[in-house]
Structure 1
Amino acid sequence: MVGAGTDRTKISRGGGPAIVLVRPQLAVNIGMCARAMANFGLSDLRLVSPREGWPRTGSLRKGAYAAAAGAVHLLEGAKLYDTLAEAVADLNFVWATTARERGQGKRVELPGNAMPESAARMAAGERHGIMFGPERTGLENDEVATADAIITFPVNPAYASLNLAQAVLLTGYEWNRAATGETLPFQAPDYSPRANREMVLSFFDYLEGELDKNGFFRPPGKAPVMRRNLRNIFHRMEMTEQDVRTLRGALVRLVEGPRKEAKTRKKAKKAEGPEA
């Protein structure tokens, strides 16, 4: 299953810190983690003793692959380990994610601070990883002890438990920001240039002239302020040339009424009489 926004014509980013899922409980959550990783260009998925094994066949595989929503290449390439020590053996630095203070004297960072650090150090040649614990209990203290530092999330303290894939998504988002910058993936197309002063002032003259004819600027003593306020409404819009043409055309129709050809069609239809 491929979601809207998936574009196979574009090059997919890869790399980033290893995502180490320690004793994940549900195959479908592994699939959702893969999807979150693909969203932000992470490609190294490591599984430590998943409760249901690693489903290559059957209904568990189907659930995991459906939840991955097109990121099945990460599931196919996932590495399976029996122990955490094996999973992190090649890494120079490991983060542990947890919602609780563990009393281990480790440095604690928000994802927005941790990921720029990893991006800089990985650019210098280091290999980093991020550990996530099982859905129900999180990482055990001995597993946290394996890490160099802790990542925690600024969540509601009364409800700090995150879904496994949500935690991966939040961390991946901060990784992507740190690794690629904060440029927008797309911007609104510039179909029409900004209207120049001559065009805008001509529009104001026409609009105010018609309003004046119909007694809008009353009492006369307030007319200057009313004109300024009216103009400032349109200035805040930062009108393009097309905006001015559209607004002026709409006003012309309101002032002059239906177009001549519309009146002609209406008269011709009336002359034909009612339909049988």
Structure 2
Amino acid sequence: MVKQWYTSRIRHGVRAIFAALCAVACSFTLAACGSQESAGEIRIGIKFDQPGVGFKKSGTYVGFDVDVAKYIARKMGYSEDKIIWKEAPSKQREAMLQNGDVDMVIASYSITPERKKEVSFAGPYFVAGQDLMVRKDETSINGPGDLNGKRLCSVTGSTSASTVKERFSKEVQLMEQPGYAECATALFSGIVDAVTTDDIILAGLASASRGRLRVIGKPFTKESYGVGIKKGDTKLAAQINNAIDDMIQDGSWKRAIDDNTRGIAYTPSAEYNPPEPTEGEQ
């Protein structure tokens, strides 16, 4: 659990003053200002198709990742109207950071050794577990041990799809789609028997289905969500980690979880949550 929290008002003030000065006077680099856009703006990559996590709704953006992004941006000196939201599909996240299309990615982005070869991370800010979602009347699937001969759907480029290929390739038929909305549609129509991804994503999808879908509730992996940043930017990682600490400490983290999974019997793993940021030290 988080042992020591960064709560000094003096240092909070220094961070705010630093961000304001950067917006006016510095060259627009991530290391110095946290933004490569124009003065006072920051570009954040999120998912647009994950209810409860990152979702574009009537021109607005909602979800747990969105709440985390807003909190971090505010702590860095950016008001909500200075955030430029960019869609960050799973298979494009590394390229978006490497090409400078975004300043950070907060998009159910699991920290893995392979990804750390290409980008850096701050966090984690949440620890999820891969689970299964089925139709409400499904009785033959009660956990990962019941997948033999079943048809699963996950998203191209996700760690969830990779896990299925590694652990269940001989047992299941995997359909990969560009987004979870397409997977949910395939599940509704009976094309697949289950959708698999991280439990918090499934909780959001189940909530949006108004009772037609349910989460099994037996996670079988550990997925640490990090904030993706450009490779080697330790200064930005430190800023983000301080903000994550503050969000957990002041209760905003738990409120964001509760608000975005309302109506679903979902509780994050108490063994791993809330997490202590460990990335960005090197």
Flag the structure with larger Rg.
1
Q: Give the number of the structure whose residues are more often helix, by fraction.
A: 1
User: TM-score, normalising length from structure 1?
Assistant: 0.20
